[in-house]
Structure 1
Amino acid sequence: MPLGERSGDKSDSRYCGVETEFNDDMPQLLFVNINGGFDFVVAPLMNPDYRPSLMDNDRSRSGVLPFAGSDIVLSPSQWSTHVVGKISSWIDLDSEDEIVRNDSEIALKQEIAWASHLSLQACLLPAPKGASCANYARCVNQILQNLNSIQLWLRIPLEKSDDDAMSGNSDNLSDGQVDSWELWNSFRLLCEHHSQLSIALDVLSSLPSANSLGRWFGEPIKAAILHTNAFLTNARGYPCLSKRHQKLMVGFFNHSIQIVISGKPVHSFPAGSSELSANHTDNHIDGTQRHPIRSYLDYVGYLYQRMEPLPEQERFELGYRDFLQSPLQPLMDNLEAQTYETFEKDTVKYSQYQRAICKALLDRIPDEKASLVTTVLMVVGAGRGPLVRASLQAAEETGRKLRVYAVEKNPNAVVTLHSLVKLEGWENIVTIVSSDMRCWDAPEKADILVSELLGSFGDNELSPECLDGAQRFLKQDGISIPSSYTSFIQPVTAAKLYNDVKSHKDLVHFETAYVVKLHSVARLAPCHPVFTFTHPECSTKKNNQRYKKLQFEIPSDTGSAMVHGFAGYFDATLYKDVHLGIEPSTATPNMFSWFPIFFPLRTPVCIRPGSPLEVHIWRCCGSTKVWYEWCATSPTQSAIHNTNGRSYWVGL
């Protein structure tokens, strides 16, 4: 059974598995564990005593491999939904012993071939036995080239020596290895970042620092193997987890990472409890007996059920998580009705605009002149009218008189605007102008110029160029809303996004900036500001080209990390202290009009502790387009991406 049905939750993390020993009787093994409350088993497919070199000398076996039953002992759906194949843990492809090395290669290929035959969804690979894993990775990479849809989960112990946490002891790491991320990174680089190679993290009794843990959430973790000896004992004698482990579990749940419980019971349960003792693991499970580690499962289920339900906005955005979208080009393309409708539902954005307009009207017109003076307000890029409505509501709220020009270039939106004006009875207040703001000759100057031309990166939908064109009909002392906006970037680990871009197998996609609801990413350092634009811009030498060199310091206790690209955000000042934006530290709550932007790197950059990341980014302007170029220059040099806007640009 799932850990529990939670409203709106369809993630894989609802399901909890159990790691088992080899059992010839796969149907009985499955029956005991499924009836015991688990959703799937991580079970060895091959008898652990099997060695190919011994098999060659044993003619009596007739070449039949000692698998756990034939494919027909379970139905195809049982194999594919309830069994994850556990590759033999004795396998060591980097052994000094040639016989062990050869046996390991043969067995690995045999077991994965059998798992593929069974249509299993995943196989758990044993952790590399030492710091060197080149031959192991070579073999796995060979297999990956011809593998069907199976995911290979590489077992990695969650270990790192930190000042605030002692490293756990693991037989899987050599004496000199202190950071298991390095082990994973070495392996995945040798396997060329293959999208079917994922991680199963062994969660031990001690955990590294929060920064060190955080970098894993940008990596392709499919499962977390939670050992029974990682549990503490609560006041009633039952298993529980430390606060840090609990927080980590919630992080796994939020990222659709499945939990696998491993090990024998290590708790002496209170007298009278229905738990089976450790030596009853093979007993039949019936109505009076519980699975020997059921209490550990129950505790994980309790943590899952205790989680706060997803807010409505997050539920709305679930389908967009880590989904790459090309940014809108509202200047070059006319938006569709569905796009307008989505943005118009963002009440937070328009309430912020209304607040800003209220403050501007109060500053512009004193109370004693409120009934005498009519303020001229122009909405440039009016769309289907939400900013017109916000402006008129602001006028009503402040008791100021308003004359509004709604300027919109999309003829389809203009149809809706005319209908709205007639429906609301705004004919004497609102004048609709069907024109590009850069070409329109206004009949009078504006007191207030209102626009919502901001993109995820602030200036990436050409707000600077559009407002430069519209500024000529703003009075000398006129107010622009927004009055300024700044873009921000930060380095991120984003293995899924990187593999999605890489799957296109071309340069163009690696040189495109994407709008994406970032979820399975690790934000490696605080954001740095990039480009700022201010309106009105009174300089006689206007230039919207920009260049910025940035240096990011990764916290030293993070350990090494992989930078797959840069997340981009913006923060805008609408008027005085009224702002809106998506930069994480100052983001406007509950606003969904903008997802972050993602600038990928063709070759990911590995950052070591204490080694700063140096990044360069340019905003380039041509006669017909605007584009960005970007690169990293330290600790390693990347190519300059998108030279001359060859792959991605915004059309003027």
Structure 2
Amino acid sequence: MPLGEMVGDKSDSRYCGVEAEFMDNMPQLLYININGGFDFVAAPLMDPSYRPSLMDCTNGIPVPPFAGSDLVLSPSQWSGHVVGKISSWIDLDSEDETLRSDSEITIKQEIAWASHLSLQACLLPTPKGVSCANYARCVNEILQNLNTMQLWLRIPLEKSDEDAGDSNSNHTTEGLVDAWELWNSFRLLCEHHSQLSIALDVWSSLPSINSVERWFGEPVKAAIVHTDSFLTNAKGYPCLSKRHQKLVNELFNHSIQVIISGNPVLDVPLAASNTATGTIRHPLRPYLDYIGYMYQKMDPIPEQERFELGYRDFLQSPLQPLMDNLEAQTYETFEKDTVKYTQYQKAVAKALLDRVPDEDTSTVTTVLMVVGAGRGPLVRASLQAAEETGRKLKVYAVEKNPNAVVTLHSLVKLEGWEKLVTIVSSDMRCWNAPEKADILVSELLGSFGDNELSPECLDGAQRFLKEDGISIPSSYTSFIQPITTSKLYNDVKLHKDLAHFETAYVVKLHRVARLAPTKPVFTFDHPNISTNKSNQRYIKLRFEIPPDTGSALVHGLAGYFDAVLYKDVHLGIEPSTATPNMFSWFPIFFPLRQPVLVAPGSPFEVHFWRRCSTKVWYEWCVTSPTSSAVHNSSGRSYWVGL
């Protein structure tokens, strides 16, 4: 039975497995563990004493001693309840030629058998030493012809030599400073193959918080939590330390399955035999119950998160609002974001109060222009702000999309706004306004602030704003940060072309590791009173990744924005200041054609350009610790049309 189920949660983390030793009676092994409450077993498929070099080959190729035939379980049992464990003795980088040869033959036989059984995944043993080149070569060769089965490389989540405190030397890979380095070497040799994933071994000792966090940008499918990582509570039952609890919660949040491994190390009284079925309570059941308890006490997924579940780590091309007319469904999605329009209403209300003193409320009418009115949500927010503050308002609703204009006319008629609202069907950059505006309101912001050409549009509309007029928003700033995101990198790589690596994507970031705090990139102010009206920009940014993170691979840059609507009213998605419960914008992702390895304590330096001609585009590159190509030179792959 799954650990539990929260509304909207269909993730793999609901299922908890158990690691088992070899048993030549697979139906019995499965019966014991599934009846014991576990959802699947990670079990060897082959007798651990098997060695190809010891087999009698007089009759040709030896038949290895598998755990029964494929008929001992049904296909659904094999695929739904068994993860194959590749023999732990294999060592493809051994100096012993016989062992190396036996290892290569065995791993190919076992994975072929697991594939024949339609298993969903196989657990590969941890590389024996620092070098893993031949092991990776063999696995990469297998991956080239593998069906949909995943291969999980077992990697210890442990303290590195550079971490403070004691080291769990019993479980440390010999000669290894950082287990992540071993994983990175292995996956690079396997060309970032999408079917190669990670199973993390979790012991009693954990590395630094920053070191742990980088794993959430990697393809971790399972975490093998060993019984010796548990503590004992006052009643003698297993529990986890605060740090381990936080780790397990993060595993759940990232759809990573827990596998319990080891022998019970606590003297917990077992339940009496069930005479009706003749079964005995599983010795690891107290550990399973605790993991289930942790899952069930997690906070329910908020409504906003449930809405966004289907968008997690899904690459979308940014909107082209000037070139393309938005569809009704797009308008409807944005209009559901009540938080955004509440912020706009607050900003307009404050601007009206500053613009019109209390003594002039009966005589002064403020001219407000909504440029890019869409289907009218900003018109509504502005009129509600006027009603709230007791100010008179005259509204011009300027919209270039003729289909949205139809809806605007219906809205004005339905609400009885005919005397308050004038609808203008025109591009704001071409419209000749009959009078100047006191307040200019727009929602032209993209995920990166300026990426939907708000600067160009508002510069064009600025001519009909009074010299002392107010623009809402008054400014906006873009931000970037380096991230690890193996999932997104592989998704881009699937296209097998340059253009997709030089395109920015809107994406709900989920399985990512944010390696350093964000830094501001470009800021635009409105109205633009600068003598230099160019919207071209260039900046060089230097990020310091915390030394205790260890090495990390940067797959790209995550982009965000923060906007000042008016005075202290802001909205944005920059992580440290993000507006709560707002879903109109997902972050933007700028990929790197070749991921960049950053060593502990090394700076990461990136250059960013905003270029303008008859179109607008971004260019980006890395210059430290290594140099990359300049991405999207001359806007050859990705641009926004004016």
Aligned with 1:309: secondary structure?
Answer: coil
Equivalent runs, 1:480-491 vs 2, <5 Å: 480-491=471-482
Which segment is superposed worse, 283-292 or 569-578? 283-292
Q: Which residue of 1 aligns with 2:41?
A: 41
Aligned with 1:50: secondary structure?
Answer: coil
Aligned with 1:567: secondary structure?
Answer: strand
Aligned with 2:528: secondary structure?
Answer: coil
| 2-structure distance, mates of 1:325, 1:214 | 25
| 2-structure distance, mates of 1:168, 1:342 | 51
Q: Given that residues 555 and 609 in structure 1 are in contact (C-alpha distance below 8 angstroms), is that contact kept between their aligned partners in structure 2? A: yes
| 2-structure distance, mates of 1:125, 1:564 | 25
Shift of 1:30: 0.6
Q: Deviations for 1:364-398, whole angstroms, at most 9, x for unmatched residues?
A: 00000011000000000000000000000000000
| 2-structure distance, mates of 1:385, 1:572 | 21
| 1-structure distance, mates of 2:321, 2:170 | 55
For the pair 1:497 / 2:488, whether they are aligned, the reply is yes
Q: Which residue of 2 aligns with 1:274?
A: 271
Q: Which residue of 1 aligns with 2:623?
A: 633
Q: Given that residues 393 and 420 in structure 2 are in contact (C-alpha distance below 8 angstroms), is that contact kept between their aligned partners in structure 1? A: yes
1:52–1:404 Cα change, 3 Å: same
Aligned with 1:353: secondary structure?
Answer: helix
| 2-structure distance, mates of 1:275, 1:478 | 80
Q: Which residue of 1 aligns with 2:311?
A: 320
Shift of 1:288: 5.7
Q: Given that residues 36 and 285 in structure 1 are in contact (C-alpha distance below 8 angstroms), is that contact kept between their aligned partners in structure 2? A: no
| 2-structure distance, mates of 1:68, 1:233 | 36
| 2-structure distance, mates of 1:338, 1:459 | 23
Code of the residue aligned with 1:615 in structure 2: it is V
Shift of 1:164: 4.1
Q: Which residue of 2 aligns with 1:403?
A: 394
| 2-structure distance, mates of 1:590, 1:336 | 24
Q: Deviations for 1:25-69, whole angstroms, at most 9, x for unmatched residues?
A: 111111111000000010101110000000145x58983220111
Shift of 1:166: 2.8
| 2-structure distance, mates of 1:166, 1:62 | 49
Aligned with 1:505: secondary structure?
Answer: coil
Q: Which residue of 2 aligns with 1:87?
A: 86
Shift of 1:172: 5.7
Aligned with 2:395: secondary structure?
Answer: strand
| 2-structure distance, mates of 1:148, 1:567 | 33
Which segment is superposed worse, 534-543 or 95-104? 534-543
Shift of 1:567: 0.3
| 1-structure distance, mates of 2:409, 2:362 | 27
| 1-structure distance, mates of 2:524, 2:278 | 70
Q: Given that residues 369 and 395 in structure 2 are in contact (C-alpha distance below 8 angstroms), is that contact kept between their aligned partners in structure 1? A: yes
Aligned with 2:169: secondary structure?
Answer: coil
Q: Given that residues 165 and 209 in structure 1 are in contact (C-alpha distance below 8 angstroms), is that contact kept between their aligned partners in structure 2? A: no
Q: Which residue of 1 aligns with 2:133?
A: 134
Aligned with 1:423: secondary structure?
Answer: helix
Q: Which residue of 2 aligns with 1:17?
A: 17
| 2-structure distance, mates of 1:637, 1:190 | 21
Equivalent runs, 1:428-447 vs 2, <5 Å: 428-447=419-438
1:304–1:610 Cα change, 3 Å: same
Code of the residue aligned with 2:436 in structure 1: it is K
Q: Which residue of 1 aligns with 2:236?
A: 237
- RMSD of aligned alpha carbons: 1.4
Shift of 1:540: 3.1
1:190–1:369 Cα change, 3 Å: same
Q: Which residue of 2 aligns with 1:221?
A: 220
| 1-structure distance, mates of 2:585, 2:56 | 63
Equivalent runs, 1:411-426 vs 2, <5 Å: 411-426=402-417
1:597–1:56 Cα change, 3 Å: same
Q: Given that residues 225 and 259 in structure 2 are in contact (C-alpha distance below 8 angstroms), is that contact kept between their aligned partners in structure 1? A: yes
Code of the residue aligned with 1:468 in structure 2: it is D
Q: Given that residues 156 and 171 in structure 2 are in contact (C-alpha distance below 8 angstroms), is that contact kept between their aligned partners in structure 1? A: no
Q: Deviations for 1:179-232, whole angstroms, at most 9, x for unmatched residues?
A: 100110110011111100000000001101111100000000000000011111
Aligned with 1:53: secondary structure?
Answer: helix
Indicate which of 359, 364, 369 corresponds to 2:355. 364
Code of the residue aligned with 2:563 in structure 1: it is A
Q: Which residue of 2 aligns with 1:608?
A: 599
For the pair 1:349 / 2:340, whether they are aligned, the reply is yes
Equivalent runs, 1:231-310 vs 2, <5 Å: 231-270=230-269, 273-274=270-271, 286=277, 289-310=280-301
Q: Given that residues 380 and 437 in structure 1 are in contact (C-alpha distance below 8 angstroms), is that contact kept between their aligned partners in structure 2? A: yes
Same amino acid, percent of matched pairs: 81
TM-score (norm 1): 0.97
Shift of 1:168: 1.8
Q: Given that residues 165 and 207 in structure 1 are in contact (C-alpha distance below 8 angstroms), is that contact kept between their aligned partners in structure 2? A: no
Indicate which of 511, 517, 527 corresponds to 1:526. 517
| 2-structure distance, mates of 1:341, 1:627 | 28
Shift of 1:8: 1.7
Indicate which of 546, 553, 567 corresponds to 1:555. 546
Structure 1 segments of 4 or more deviating over 3 A? 59-62, 162-165, 283-288
| 2-structure distance, mates of 1:389, 1:171 | 63
Q: Which residue of 1 aligns with 2:173?
A: 173
Code of the residue aligned with 2:216 in structure 1: it is F
| 2-structure distance, mates of 1:572, 1:315 | 26
Shift of 1:300: 0.4
Code of the residue aligned with 1:29 in structure 2: it is L
Q: Which residue of 1 aligns with 2:633?
A: 643
Q: Which residue of 1 aligns with 2:63?
A: 64
Aligned with 1:116: secondary structure?
Answer: helix
| 1-structure distance, mates of 2:140, 2:552 | 22
Shift of 1:170: 4.1
| 1-structure distance, mates of 2:434, 2:357 | 25
Q: Given that residues 159 and 205 in structure 2 are in contact (C-alpha distance below 8 angstroms), is that contact kept between their aligned partners in structure 1? A: no
Aligned with 1:127: secondary structure?
Answer: coil
| 2-structure distance, mates of 1:165, 1:445 | 68
Shift of 1:165: 4.3
Shift of 1:274: 1.8
TM-score (norm 2): 0.98
Shift of 1:551: 0.2
Q: Which residue of 2 aligns with 1:120?
A: 119
Q: Which residue of 2 aligns with 1:279?
A: none
Code of the residue aligned with 1:648 in structure 2: it is Y
> Unpaired runs of 5+ in structure 1?
277-282
Q: Given that residues 130 and 172 in structure 1 are in contact (C-alpha distance below 8 angstroms), is that contact kept between their aligned partners in structure 2? A: no
Q: Given that residues 631 and 639 in structure 1 are in contact (C-alpha distance below 8 angstroms), is that contact kept between their aligned partners in structure 2? A: yes
| 2-structure distance, mates of 1:170, 1:642 | 49
Q: Given that residues 157 and 170 in structure 1 are in contact (C-alpha distance below 8 angstroms), is that contact kept between their aligned partners in structure 2? A: no
